[in-house]
Amino acid sequence: MSARARQMPVPQLLASSGRERVVIENISPLIDCGRFAVKRIVGEQLWVEADCFADSHDLLACVIKYRHDDDAEWRESAMAAQGNDRWRAAFTVDRIGVWRFGVVAWIDTLRSWAHDFARRIEPADVRVAARAGADLIAAAARRATAIERAQLEAWAGQLREEPDAERLHELALDAGLMALASLHARRNAAVRSAYLRAVVDRPRARFSTWYEMFPRSCAREPGLHGTFDDVCSQLDYIAQMGFDVLYLPPIHPIGRERRKGRNNAVVATAADVGSPWAIGSDEGDHKAVHPQLGTHAEFRRLLEAARGRGIEIALDFALQCAPDHPYVSAHPQWFRRRADGSVQYAENPPKKYQDIYPFNFESDDWQALWHELRDIITFWIGQGVVLFRVDNPHTKPFAFWQWVIAETKREHPDVLFLSEAFTRPKVMHRLAKLGFSQSYTYFTWRQTKRELTEYFTELAHGPGREYFRPNCWPNTPDILPAHLQSGGTPEFALRLVLAATLAANYGIYGPAFELKEHIAREPGSEEYLNSEKYEIRNWERARADSLAAFIGRVNRIRHSHEALQSDGSLHFHPVDNDMLICYSKAAPGQADVILTVVNLDHRYVQSGWIDLDLAPLALAPGASYEVHDLLSGARYSWHGSRNFVRLDPAVAPAHIFHLPGRAPSAVSGLPPDDTH
């Protein structure tokens, strides 16, 4: 080496990291290299894994460091070796909000010494190695408390003074003292990963049962406009069906300019009430309530009445304005202009929404727009709302959602947002990464066994499981899928069972669903004839053929069985008939196991043999057991993995089996279920 080369300065990177021998790789859970937070529910354990290794044969120690954003101090959880340099540990997220976590690893000099010492045989060699260990232990003792220091110093003294090699082996390998010394040993050249984030939500984010209803259609007498007090009168009906979220479409004043008529007619009559999504008029903006619904005080009374029945009210957050919304005149810069100078209305060709003006998020005044929209959320939180269904978030900038959700949850971490984005998969997933608590799905259009199996396997076990919480809807005010138009009662019933048992979060648009509203506006359309979006409907909720009792039974099963209150345990089981689909879910520790079989054919009886994978069901091979159908109350004796099922859609579209020896969770506030 030349004299010039010897004199060259060491690069700064090497100078600062030359003593770091440990490598940390492949941390999980990890979303987009740590750019976005993983999601958990308060009380859950967050399991963290990482590859941690070093050169040579020295042993490592690894911990997770973690804390809530409100904590000043970091906590630690020791990671356990899993083999092949993989390490794993968990910590409990005991508060909602944002948590930080990372992995720290270092050469464990004490245990490396002990591992090496155990292999030494020659007495002289043993005594020399024992003195080296004594020095390490004495160094650890200097960082210990008085009592522990005395124990460690005594141990170090014994290792220095004991002449007998066999006795030294016994002393050196004392597991209890080694654990004590390790607590205070210096972490030489420790390496830490970047800190990652976890957003922890309240349990409603993981498990919820939604019911969508138009308040204006709740009047006791036909032809009248419903009020918040009329909604109160429907709460017992909704609670009896087992719903814990009542979602209301926009409750704000409705624009009069370019108001749509019945069935989306471009020209409205004086009697037409317009679409609730055409928000704003001279009667108020997004912070006002429609005067025919009531007042803010009456809305707060509705919130309180709902809470008394175990129901949360979710409000629609729709970022658009009617032409006569106060924003249009007060902030014209927040809207786009057409070539003729008029304000650009919303379009999704060939559909036109002349009664709605979208915001221009590329406006030079975008910061003021963002803050005003955030203030709308804050206003309704002040009224008592902590659950929002967001209309078409995929048509607004990602950056806005990332900002407004973080801003909101910083002050109000209990607030949840449901993303109503029926769009491209990557866009839906991006919105979930940005902070949406739940997301609509493609369930509405997934019909075949293959489609359902592939899609829900992806949702439950794909990479999106760390951040995308599916919320499944068989219908919405915008979507009357073709199968509900022609399948009759069996189709409505089977779709209800699928949504309610495949997903821990699901919802229906009612009373259209339980009353089996199925007539489309025209052939090939998914729009309802006489859509409630454009007119007041008077629903005969007590109709004899209503599915309300069936829905109530299914929802009571959901609330009574922990297995159906999360998605990660979903497991599909083969059936030799493609018209039958079978899957199971289990609570943590398999304390509660549910097996569901659904006939996907609304017309004909279907039968077949199920080939059960017994491990997820906590069943031993060859075991005989009884399964209890929670829908019908029937009990069947089964044996082993292969069992026969037969389902007549005219009688029951599905079995929801509770497996033996599993006690359901008791949940208060719901009507009793006589199948238990």
> Is residue 513 a contact partner of residue 507, using CB atoms and an 8 Å limit?
no
The answer on 29 and 161 residing in a single domain is yes
Q: What is the spatial distance between Cα 241 and Cα 209, in angstroms, rounded to a whole number?
A: 10
Copy the structure tokens of residue 503: 């997903």
- 149 and 262 co-located in one domain: no
- To the nearest 10°, report the CA torsion of 48, 53, 58, 59: 10
**Band of residue 421 on the pLDDT scale cut at 50, 70, 90:** very high
3-class DSSP assignment, residue 174? coil
Whether 209 is covered by a domain: the verdict is: no
Are 24 and 156 in a shared domain?
yes
Is residue 652 included in any domain, yes or no?
Answer: no
Residue 259 and residue 196 share a domain = no
Per cent of the chain over pLDDT 90 is 84
Greater confidence (41 vs 675) lies with 41
Domain interval for residue 268: 254-275+320-358
* pLDDT at residue 172, rounded to an integer: 87
Q: Examine the domain organization and report whether 185 and 111 are in the same domain.
A: yes
Structure tokens at 359: 């915001």
Check if the beta carbon of residue 104 is closer than 8 Å to that of residue 63: yes
Q: By three-state DSSP, how is residue 91 classified?
A: strand
Decide: 612 and 642 in contact? Cβ < 8 Å. yes
- Does position 660 have pLDDT exceeding 80, yes or no? no
- pLDDT, tens digit, for every residue of 142-194? 999 999 999 999 999 999 998 888 898 888 888 999 889 888 888 888 999 99
In this prediction, residue 97 carries a pLDDT of 98
Q: Give SS3 for 58.
A: coil
Q: Tens digits of per-residue pLDDT, 297-333? A: 999 999 999 999 999 999 999 999 999 999 999 999 9
Strand 351-353 versus strand 346-348 pairing type: antiparallel
Q: How far apart are CA 554 and CA 473, in angstroms?
A: 15
112 shares its domain with 176? yes
Q: How many Å apart are CA 523 and CA 390, to the nearest integer?
A: 30
Say if residue 22 is in the same domain as residue 117: yes
Does residue 110 belong to any structural domain of this protein? Answer: yes
Sheet holding 45-54, edge to edge: 22-28, 45-54, 86-92, 80-83
* Structural domain includes residue 531: no
| 611, 623 contact by CB (below 8 A) | no
Q: Which helix (H) or strand (E) holds 106?
A: strand 97-107
Both 142 and 57 in one domain: the answer is yes
CA dihedral sign of residues 199, 201, 206, 209? negative
Residue 282 resides in a domain: no
Q: Is residue 293 part of a domain?
A: no
Could you give the number of structural domains in the chain? 2
pLDDT band per the 50, 70, 90 thresholds, residue 17 = low
pLDDT at position 601, please?
A: 98
Same domain for 144 and 269, yes or no, is no
- Residue 19 maps to which CATH number? 2.60.40.10
Query: Given a cut of 50, is residue 668 above it in pLDDT?
Result: no
Query: Which residues are identified as catalytic?
Result: 391, 420
| 171 and 263, same domain (yes or no) | no
Same domain, 196 and 260: no
Residues 6+ positions from 371 with CB-CB distance below 8 Å: none
pLDDT value at 672 more than 60:
no
3-class state of residue 569 by DSSP:
coil
Helical H segments across 268-423, by residue range: 296-307, 326-330, 366-383, 398-411
Lowest mean pLDDT among 1-15, 122-136, 278-292, 487-501: 1-15
**Residue 176 parent element (H or E):** helix 175-184
Q: What is the pLDDT of residue 11?
A: 36
Inter-CA distances, 383 with 297, 301, 377, 407, 417, Å: 9, 10, 10, 18, 17
43 and 180 part of one domain: yes
Closest CA to 346 of 264, 430, 285, 428: 264
- pTM (global) more than 0.85: yes
Give the residue from 184, 200, 216 where a domain finishes.
Answer: 200
The two tokens of residue 247 are 């979602």
Nearest-angstrom CA–CA distance, 474 and 491: 10
Residue 24 maps to a domain: yes
Rounded to 5°, the CA angle 451-457-462 comes to 125
pLDDT digits (tens, 9 = 90+) for 52-104: 999 988 999 999 999 999 999 999 999 999 999 999 999 999 999 999 999 99
Mean pLDDT for 471-490 is: 98
137 falls within a domain: yes
561's CB contacts (< 8 A; 6+ apart) are: 587, 592, 594, 630, 658, 664, 665
The residue out of 358, 385, 417 marking a domain boundary is 358
